[in-house]
Amino acid sequence: MFTAQPQHASLSSSKIQHVPTFRPSETIAGGQKIGGFTRKKSNNVTGLRSRVIRAVISSSEDSKTSPGGANVVEKSKGNNGALSSSSVSGGIEVRAAITIRKKMKEKITEKFEDQWESFINGIGRGILIQLISEDIDPVTKSGKSAESYVRGLPKPSNHPYILEYAANLIVPNDFGCPGAILITNLLDKEFYLVDVVVHNFSEGPQFFPANTWIHSRKDNPESRIIFKNQAYLPSQTPIGIKDLRREDLLSIRGNGKGERKMHERVYDYAVYNDLGNPDKGDELVRPSIGGKEMPYPRRCRTGRPPTKKDSLSESRIEKPHPIYVPRDEAFEEIKQNTFSAGRLKALLHNLIPLISSTLSSSDNAFTCFSEIDKLYIDGVRLKDEDQKDIIQNQFISNLMNQIFTVGGRLLKYEIPAVIKRDRFSWLRDNEFARQALAGVNPVNIELLKELPILSKLDPAVYGPPESAISRELIEQELNGMTLEEAIKNKRLFILDYHDMLLPFIERMNSLPGRKAYASRTIFFYTPTGILRPIVIELSLPPSSTSPRNKHIFIHGHDATTHWIWKLAKAHVCSNDAGIHQLVNHWLKTHACMEPYIIATHRQLSSMHPIFKLLHPHMRYTLEINALARQGLINGGGIIEACFSPGEYAMEISSAAYKSMWRFDMEALPADLIQRGMAVEDPSMPCGVKLVIEDYPYAADGLLIWSAIKDLVEAYVDYYYSDDNYITSDVELQAWWNEIKNKGHYDKRNEPWWPNLATKEDLSSILTIMIWIASGQHAAINFGQYPFGGYVPNRPTLMRKLIPEEDDPAYEKFLLNPDQTFLSSLPTQLQATKVMAVQDTLSTHSPDEEYLHQLQNLQSVSIKDPEVKKLFEKFSDKLEDIERTINKRNRNFSLKNRCGAGIPPYELLLPSSGPGVTGRGIPNSISI
């Protein structure tokens, strides 16, 4: 057994003599013995960051001096070209290069703290590292170990925010290959560890990617475990680090008790019981979402105490104070400073209140269309006195200048893509229909398979189930085709929000400034390849005073019918905007991904190949969801203030989860088949053939889906040689069971959950998750401002019902239909708020990580060259897909992509630059 005694050196010494101490029988101060070797207690999560700044392995490696003057032995090339190190008495000396990232923007006090920390590190009292071998010590029955303090001044770096420290360790001659490093932070505050590279092993440099915050020992006495960039199934874990693998997962799960602290890395589940704020008043009381009555996916637990008035509601952390997310889930500083966190927080905490104070006293309807145009031409003039705080805060002032073109007192918006080429396109029926296939919400249109259309709602409550849309109404629009021929030839389609909304309409319409219908819209796909709306049904709940609750609208040719048809379309668009935001966007991507992320951290070690595969697709999602609970979907938040459902928004989202959501139907091919938009065809790449070939979302989406599927299948096949490895993988089985039984607890007994017994099962599950996080979210998120930034195209709420002939407002409508239409739209304040939110949600961050960049990200955490080839092949495939999509967008036979004034469909183009580009597929849901 090798033991090296410490020899301390002063700062003035030109050489710092090595200080490692390895005594398996002893316990170091503040630590504990685990299986025979000594380590500091490890804190919660080993969270990796997909954004990696690699440690520079410099050419000075061959010199005898490491950064800060630490002694480094000379190395020589072995026969195989690997570096080998000189032996020292009793062992081999190796060097660890520790790369730390500083804050980009520091206060004066923080700069002094940095200098003090450099001094502490220099004398070897700041950071302790312990190297753990993959081989077991026969005496202690644990991984062989060696430890040392970081010593010396940081090495100069080309990057102003990167510091590289060094530590020398002496390991026994039979140490073997290192598998883990324990990091103990003895400083007073956390630091961001980029990576650790250990040199002088005969196998070459050993890389330990970290990209994680290392907490201070004063916050938590446990040290952090950082594993090497090698993927291991649980059964294949080297014996020397098996205990660490198990312990790391246990620490991440926590004990389910107490309020979480901001430095912690504990992942656990809770219901959505923090959306209301009953302590502030009855108007902010909201029900808990999640449970038998209102089922919902689970969110990340924060453990805050209950409110004073309601013991079942969790007290809120109001803006601008942060909500807990596990430490490594929070936005990195580059994202905070250059975009999303800073942008979204500036929006919610500064700009929205500023807009409100400017416009709320005169919150009027638009009186003419030119007033809407002025938002892009002249902008909104903000009050000087309300800008005082913002102007004093230089960062927020610069940020808002950058984002919103705020100059002086002016808030201007870019012209949305939908009207940039043709400002009147939104008026046309074919554009209204085209957006059902190529807009921001192209996932609700279905094939109409039979007539009459029947509701599934209780007829005792909601009246007869038959729709008022009749054969005669449809056939008069079919150009001589019979109903049977149209159905047989798959020419009729429907956008049906009747059953989803009707149970809420009465309550929605009781809210001030809200008037909505439950809608059905029938489309005819013409022989010339144009989708055309032909009938709209708008329904209200039946009542004794109004037995006629189903209203039918067709596009007539006289002026009055034309304007009424336009109002009916606006109500459909309002419903579409609400369902898009609450169901397809928030619920099916953001909320449903959260349990997958929590379970992945709790049950899959960061060494697990499936963790490594999923990790880039989990980035920032918990943080953006926490921000949404704080300012978007909360009681009184932006969604309630500016969308039709108002305070019932999350209840509608819950009802949709209860009646509609199925994990297996989130697969793109399965969803298209279920909606009748595709039929099974084994000869096609994804096994499906589109009913409408010119369906841009589906056509491009299937290309992305197929590429993801091929990558996942090859990846799974590489790590799992047969199905027995799937069923015997204890972490993997626990992961899937937890997703079903904890993360989606309210759906745990559903029969449609896939089994996890074969490689095919695993590949299918993973493909769905990666598709949801990447392609699906991109398709329904980044078009929000391009399509919704022009209020008449997609009003988020309607404030008036359509006037009828016996209505006093009908005469006003006849005299001034423009004014009736505009006064039915959101107010100027509501519209401006929504535009600000949509602009933010549609913007890519400068540090965004895109799907085609996976090979760069994964090369850091997976060193296997065969696996790297899989990701390189995937990247090449995405480049081919981008070329294919661009070619499609120049094909004038595809009328939903090309034509006069029509913006090309680019939402599923893999790459993008920063900003509102209307294209680009990020790896994860990060906005």
Phi, psi dihedral angles at 391 (to 5 degrees): -65, -35
Q: Which candidate, 604, 488, 614, 574, places its Cα nearest to that of 788? A: 574
Tokens for 847, please give them.
């540090």
Distance CA 133, CA 230 (A): 13
DSSP per residue, 646-700: GGGHHHHHHHHHHHH--GGGGSHHHHHHHTTSEEE-TTSTTSEEESSS--HHHHH
Output the CA torsion 510→514→519→523 (10° steps).
Answer: 170
CA distance 809 to 868: 67
Helix (H, G, I), strand (E, B) or coil at 416: coil
Q: Return all residues near 449 (Cβ < 8 A) that are at least 6 apart.
A: 487, 676
Cα separation, 561 vs 546, in Å, equals: 22
H or E segment to which residue 185 belongs: strand 178-185
10 Å Cβ neighbour count for 761? Answer: 17
Give 497's contacts (C-beta < 8 A, 6+ positions apart): 444, 518, 519, 520, 572, 575, 576, 579
Joined together, the tokens standing for residue 883 give 């070329």
Per the CB < 8 A criterion, the answer to whether 240 and 134 are in contact is: yes
SS3 212: strand
Using alpha carbons, list the distances in angstroms from residue 407 to 350, 353, 399, 803, 849: 15, 17, 11, 42, 30
User: What sections of 789-897 are H helices per DSSP?
Assistant: 809-815, 817-824, 828-841, 854-861, 865-888
Report residue 673: phi and psi, to 5°. -65, -45
**Judging by beta carbons within 10 Å of its beta carbon (0-12, 13-18, 19+), is residue 142 exposed, middle or buried?**
buried
Query: E strands within 457-613?
Result: 492-496, 518-525, 531-539, 550-553
Give 749-752's long-range contacts (Cβ < 8 A, gap of 24+): 750/662, 752/662, 752/663, 752/664, 752/665
Can you give 104-166 as a three-state secondary structure string? CCCCHHHHHHHHHHHHHHHCCCCEEEEEEEEEECCCCCCEEEEEEECEEEEECCCCCCEEEEE
Element (H, E) at 390: helix 388-392
Rounded (5°) CA angle 126-131-136: 150
In angstroms, the CA 666 to CA 776 distance is: 9
The answer to whether the peptide bond before residue 320 is cis (omega within 30 degrees of 0) is yes
Q: How far apart are CA 223 and CA 41, in angstroms?
A: 5
- Phi and psi of 796, rounded to 5°? -85, -10
> Residue 452: is the preceding peptide bond cis (ω within 30°)?
yes
Please say whether the dihedral angle defined by the alpha carbons of residues 261, 262, 264 and 270, taken in this order, is positive or negative. Answer: positive
Q: Write out the catalytic residue numbers.
A: 585, 590, 777, 781, 927
CB half-sphere exposure, 259, CA atoms < 13 A: 11
Q: Are strands 222-227 and 37-42 parallel, antiparallel or unpaired?
A: parallel
Q: Give the residue among 610, 586, 580, 584 at the shortest CA–CA distance from 769.
A: 610
